[in-house]
DNA sequence: TTTAATTTAGCACAACTGTATTAAAACATC
DNA sequence: GATGTTTTAATACAGTTGTGCTAAATTAAA
């Protein structure tokens, strides 16, 4: 009896429209009407899928993280700590236009999450997941190249790596010409190299 | 003849009110009316000092950078590279409540600058100044502890240090409990130590 | 074709936005 | 105290915001 429309597909379409608006005009222009128009729908239709603006934005933010996680799951990890670390870290940096856009949108969401209670849980969740990822990267590297390191030193190194990663990403968003893919990759290589300095074969 | 009101003092008062609103309710609530009310003025009076909202925000953003620069100028530098580096880097991190608030406001401005043309020049200017600061820190450290490093390596190290600094600051704003002053200081020490690893006396 | 469920469009509403204009209030000089 | 300039306050306006509600369009099943 009903008109069949893939509910979830429509929500994804709206979330992607939200990304484009945020990317092009900033978060303050991400109104219900603007996003609906970007998606080619009326504001009334949008409201049929998301009853509030916050719901839409939360879904849109979550979709970014889901996409990134899917890509990470598909990475061809080898088991070699340094190669795997580079593979993961590069995936988390804005090294091409698609990832640049993604990261810019993510940044806008994160900034909004600082004052929007509805976005905070997801922000915290992602922070925790990222931190876990960094911890496991450091564990892999240290177990192979720096096994004498203490537990505290490893925790510190994980936070250092995570901060470096986010700092690089933000700088690349702010100054794409100065901090391009080459610079970011070099810095990451340098960092991994300096962590694994006990092994002369490390880095490259 | 005229009522004498310190024009500049009033502008500073409004800029500080803007900080408080942004900190408490986020950038999207930083309307002319809200800021005026926070400062205890009417919106009409505010407009007498800033004819547009962008002007007010730009001034408010600039005031953050001026304050930070003033504090840096007043730092008791000693001439010893490691001590001076720590002194400068800690000053640029949100290590206490005042600096935390300042950094949160700065972050909000930076995020807005990505889509607001009026704020971009200042954002770029500060980025360049910070980068220069990082370059000079690295130069000092390398000239003393790692003088064999190439020009390229030094440039890379400057970007690495800057990214680490901003990443730490953002993480501390996002998760104050996890990334507190102690963690930030330890990470910075660890980083300086790893840069100056040629000298056994380095770090501490 | 009729029926019924679902999606869509459009308008209404109150609140808020930036900006402009205008009149009142405040006060240093004469 | 009167004068004249600056600061302040208040209002107006057009546009946008989020959200609620209603009616029309669409379409699978009977």
Q: Give the domains, in start order, of chain B with CATH numbers.
A: 1-51 (1.10.10.60), 58-195 (1.10.357.10)
Q: How many CB atoms lie within 10 A of CB A125?
A: 12
Determine the residue of chain A that is closest to B163 in CA distance.
A167
Give the Cα separation of B189 and B89 in Å (integer): 10
Task: Give the bases of strand D that a protein CB approaches within 7 Å.
Answer: 3-12, 16-22, 25-29
What pLDDT score does A6 carry? 73
pLDDT of residue A13 exceeding 60: yes
Distance CA B138, CA A131 (A): 28
The closest of A12, A160, A46, A84 to B184, measured between CA atoms, is A160
Q: Which residues of B touch A165 (CB under 8 A)?
A: 167
pLDDT confidence of B3, banded at 50, 70, 90? low
Identify which of B123, B170, B171 has the shortest CB distance to residue A174: B123
Tokens 């100028």 correspond to what residue?
B73
> Under DSSP, is residue A100 helix (H, G, I), strand (E, B) or coil?
helix
Mark yes or no for CB contact B168/A173 under 8 Å. Answer: no
CA distance B128 to A106: 24
Q: How confident is the model at residue A126 (pLDDT cuts 50, 70, 90)?
A: very high
Q: Do A114 and B107 touch (CB under 8 A)?
A: yes
CA nearest to A161 within chain B: B164
pLDDT tier for residue B9 given thresholds of 50, 70 and 90: confident
Residues of B in contact with A170 (CB under 8 A): 163, 166-167, 170
pLDDT tens-place string over residues B159-196: 999 999 999 999 999 999 999 999 999 999 999 999 98
Mark yes or no for CB contact A166/B170 under 8 Å: yes
Cβ atoms of residues B102 and B68 within 8 Å: yes
CA separation, residue B186 to residues B9, B65, B89, B168, B174 (Å): 39, 25, 12, 11, 18
**Closest of B16, B103, B40 to residue B68, by C-alpha:** B103
pLDDT on residue A16: 94
- CA–CA distance, A6 with A12 (Å, rounded to integer): 10
B28-74 pLDDT tens trace: 999 999 999 999 988 888 999 999 999 999 999 999 999 999 999 99
Pairwise CB contact (< 8 Å): A175 & B127? yes
How many residue pairs bridge chain A and chain B with CB atoms within 8 Å of each other? Answer: 118
Residue whose Cα is closest to the C1' of D7: B3
The Cα of A163 is separated from the nearest Cα of chain B by a number of Å equal to 4
CA distances from A30 to A9, A51, A69, A119, B115 (A): 20, 15, 25, 15, 12
Tokens of residue B144, six digits: 């003393």
Interatomic distance A27 CA / C10 C1' (Å): 26
Q: Residues of A with CB below 8 A from B160's CB?
A: 164, 187, 190-191
Q: What is the structure's pLDDT at A3?
A: 60
CA distances from A140 to A85, A165, B164 (A): 9, 17, 21
How far, in Å, CA of B171 to CA of B23, rounded?
16
Contacts of B164 in chain A (CB under 8 A): 160, 163-164, 167
pLDDT value of residue A200? 39
Strand residue runs (E) in chain B? none
- Please write the tens of the pLDDT for every residue from A139-173: 999 999 988 889 999 999 999 999 999 999 999 99
**Residue found by looking up tokens 């501390």 in the block:** B172
- Residue A127: name the closest of B188, B166, B172 by CA: B172
pLDDT bucket at A202, cuts 50 / 70 / 90: very low
């Amino acid at each position: 009896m009903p008109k069949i429309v893939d509910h979830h597909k429509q929500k994804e379409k709206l979330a992607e429209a939200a990304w484009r608006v945020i990317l092009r005009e900033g978060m303050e222009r991400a109104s219900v009407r603007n996003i609906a128009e970007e998606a080619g729908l009326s504001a009334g239709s949008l409201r049929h899928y998301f009853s509030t603006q916050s719901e839409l934005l939360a879904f849109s933010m979550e979709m970014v993280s889901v996409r990134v996680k899917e890509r990470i799951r598909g990475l061809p990890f080898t088991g070699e700590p340094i190669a795997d670390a580079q593979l993961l870290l590069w995936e988390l940096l804005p090294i091409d236009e698609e990832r640049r856009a993604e990261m810019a949108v993510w940044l806008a969401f994160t900034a909004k999450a600082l004052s929007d209670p509805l976005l905070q849980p997801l922000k915290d969740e992602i922070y925790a997941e990222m931190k876990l990822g960094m911890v496991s990267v450091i564990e892999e590297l240290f177990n192979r190249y720096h096994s004498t390191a203490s537990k505290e030193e490893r925790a510190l190194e994980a936070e250092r790596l995570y901060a470096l990663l986010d700092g690089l990403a933000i700088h690349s968003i702010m100054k794409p010409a100065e901090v391009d893919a080459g610079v970011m990759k070099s810095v990451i290589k340098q960092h991994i190299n300096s962590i694994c300095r006990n092994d002369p074969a490390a880095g490259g």
